Chains A and B, each alone.
Chain A
Amino acid sequence: MSTTPALKDWPLWEVFIRSKQGLEHKHCGSLHAADAGQALDMARDVYTRRQEGVSIWVVPSAMITANNPDDKGELFDPAADKIYRHPTFYEIPEEVGHM
Chain B
Amino acid sequence: MKAPLDYVLHLADNSLILGQRNAEWCGHGPILEEDIALANISLDLIGQARLLYQYAAELKGGGATEDKLAYLRGSREFRNYTLLELPHSGPLSGYARADRDYATTIVRNFFFSALMVLYWEALLQSKDEQLAAIAEKSIKEVRYHLRHARDWLVKLGDGTEASHARMRSALEHLMPYTKEFWVSSPAESQAVANGTGVDVASLRSQWDAIVNDGLNEATLIRPQDTSGYVTQGKEGVHSEHLDYVLAEMQSLARQYPNATW
Contact = CB atoms under 8 A, between A and B. Distances in A.
Interface of A: 1-2, 6-7, 31-34, 37-38, 41-42, 44-46, 49
B151 A38 contact: yes
Interface in B3-61: 30-34, 36-37, 40
Nearest to A5: B31
Given A45-B36, A45-B40, 11 more contacts: A2-B160, A32-B33, A37-B151, A38-B151, A38-B155, A41-B148, A41-B151, A44-B144, A46-B32, A46-B36, A49-B36
Contacts of B34: 42
B221 to A, nearest CB: 21
A46 B33 contact: yes
A45 B37 contact: yes
B30 A2 contact: no
Contact of A42 (B37, B155, B162): B37
B31 A6 contact: yes
Contacts of A31: 33
A6 B155 contact: no
B40 A42 contact: no
25 contacts: A1-B160, A1-B162, A2-B160, A2-B162, A6-B30, A6-B31, A31-B33, A32-B33, A34-B155, A37-B151, A38-B151, A38-B155, A41-B151, A42-B33, A42-B34, A42-B36, A44-B144, A45-B33, A45-B36, A45-B37, A45-B40, A46-B32, A46-B33, A46-B36, A49-B36
Contact of B33 (A1, A2, A33, A37): A33
Nearest to B33: A42
B147 interface: yes
Contact of B147 (A1, A2, A33, A41): A41
Among B34, B36, B40, max chain A CB count under 10 A is at B36
Nearest to B41: A45
Contacts of A44: 144
Contacts of B40: 45, 49
A75 B249 CA distance: 59
Contacts of A1: 160, 162
Contacts of A2: 160, 162
A6 B148 CA distance: 18
Closest 7 CB pairs of A and B: A1-B162, A42-B33, A45-B37, A45-B36, A6-B31, A45-B40, A46-B36
Among B32, B33, B162, max chain A CB count under 10 A is at B33
A34 B144 CA distance: 18
B95 to A, nearest CB: 10
A7 B33 contact: no
